[in-house]
A and B are shown apart, each in its own frame.
Chain A
Amino acid sequence: GAVVSQHPSWVICKSGTSVKIECRSLDFQATTMFWYRQFPKQSLMLMATSNEGSKATYEQGVEKDKFLINHASLTLSTLTVTSAHPEDSSFYICSAEASYRDEQYFGPGTRLTVT
């Protein structure tokens, strides 16, 4: 089946620094990728929709200047958490959309801890 990778799988950074998370579709092209975050014991919350070659669409309440998304190619989207703070510590998961509606494949997630 389709594979989506994320890098890094976990990262610890200091408050005030920026962290970049990569999401790659390894064996298919994805015109659309989604970024989610999940707090412990809570649901996955959609942060933004990333479309190749255009600006990302952010969900209400998500700061676009803080969570920079770049979908530079049909196989790569990046999420940069700028000026990270401890409250940004979370599990970030991306998904990539293939052709049909139910073919949305998820990456393994990235655990971000901001100290």
Chain B
Amino acid sequence: DQQVKQNSPSLSVQEGRISILNCDYTNSMFDYFLWYKKYPAEGPTFLISISSIKDKNEDGRFTVFLNKSAKHLSLHIVPSQPGDSAVYFCAASAATGGGNKLTFGTGTQLKVEL
């Protein structure tokens, strides 16, 4: 049972344009969401997070939007740069019954082209 889903396995964007990565979840107990960036054969690197009490969090070129009613979040990267090419994972955790255990999505491979 995949509780966190990233339905797009890959995304290709031109440099300078906006990259939008999507994530859906099914567990209504999730109240904290994170995005990680991962290069091959390396561990994930934390990018940005959002609590369920917010609907938007911004950090530089990265903005995460949360739509609780739709159980959907998205990561916007603008402007996209070639160095952003990586696999992006969304992750979720629940305050009760799970501590800080993270449930990851399946990832989206982002390719930013020149």
A binds B: yes
Chain A residues positioned under 8 Å from B93 (CB to CB): 101
Interface SS, A side:
strand
- What 1/0 flags go to A81-115 for Cβ under 8 Å of B? 00000000001010101000111111111010000
A79 within 8 A of partner (CB) = no
B43 and A102: CB pair below 8 A?
Answer: no
- Per the bound structure, the CA–CA distance linking A108 and B38 in Å amounts to 10
A95 and B43: CB pair below 8 A?
Answer: yes
- Among B101, B103, B104, contact of A49 (Cβ-Cβ < 8 Å): B101
B106 and A43: CB pair below 8 A?
Answer: yes
Identify the stretch in B14-22, B44-52, B71-79 within 8 Å (CB) of chain A at 4 or more residues.
B44-52
The answer to whether residues A44 and B89 also contact, given A32-B100, A34-B101, A49-B101 and a CB cut-off of 8 A, is yes
B32 within 8 A of partner (CB) = yes
A46 within 8 A of partner (CB) = yes
Binding site for A on B (CB under 8 A): 2, 4, 9, 32, 34, 36, 41-46, 49, 89, 93, 99-107
Binding site for B on A (CB under 8 A): 4, 6, 32, 34, 36, 41-46, 49, 91, 93, 95, 97, 101-109, 111
